[in-house]
Amino acid sequence: MFEIFALRAFSDNYIWTLIKEDEVTVIDPGDSNVVLDFLDKKQLSLTNIIITHHHFDHTGGINDLKKLFECKVFGPGAGHIEGITDPINNNQKFFISGEEFVAYTTPGHTLDHLSYFSFHQNEPLLFCGDTLFSGGCGRLFEGTPDQMHNSLSKLAALPKHTKVFCTHEYTQSNLKFAIEVEPNNIALKKKIESVNLLRKKDKQTLPSTIELELQINPFLRCSEPEVIKSAEKYSGSQLSSPSEVLGSIRDWKDNF
């Protein structure tokens, strides 16, 4: 079984670090120094790197870490990310420390985005980069609302007890927006209370679960009447599909 650590980087990034026996895997190491400090304290070396997409705060540490360790680097296979040794495509399976992972294309935030799922010891794990956040989703820098809706629908269909490991501590700000979209959501109100308590103590709010996100995340709830009503009020027009609802509330969130 993996032991999982959240290494804090920059202002709000998490570099998820998986340890099994003496093998270490890091996901989206934007800052190599954070990883090196951790490895030094644990007296371990790095075995694998997994990359979700090309943004620098997810890839910036690849080359420094590769110079120091003979590690594999799994990631999007288009050849645009320097340092990838094992290009990964949609639905491709690969193994980390003997555990099977499968990659899903999840465009929206970027066009190259991959999310990684492992049905690990009956405790499914999802590493979703900047596609799905707790209470939110990634900004649409390259993709379309339709692409993001399809990506989120793919993740929402995973087992409900799947643990969701996002790459940013955005939960508190996401929930401030979510309650504007869905002010009568009781589960959301309860989650806001618990998250506010955690953040007061500077504690992390992750991982989440698919089950919880289906209850509180407006971007996974684009067919709910209250979400549709709020999206239509913001856009000033009738919306005919869940992806149009998502596009409206994503635009709203960008300007919130």
Residue numbers annotated as active site: 53, 55, 57-58, 109, 130, 168
Q: Outline where DSSP puts E strands in the chain.
A: 3-9, 13-20, 23-27, 48-50, 72-76, 86-88, 93-96, 99-105, 114-120, 123-129, 132-133, 136-137, 163-166, 208-209
Say how far apart CA 182 and CA 179 lie, in whole Å: 5
- The secondary structure of residue 7, as a DSSP letter, is E
Q: Are strands 123-129 and 163-166 parallel, antiparallel or unpaired?
A: parallel
The CB density around residue 89, as the number of other CB atoms within 10 Å, is 11
- Which residues does 55 contact at the CB level (< 8 Å), separation at least 6? 110, 130
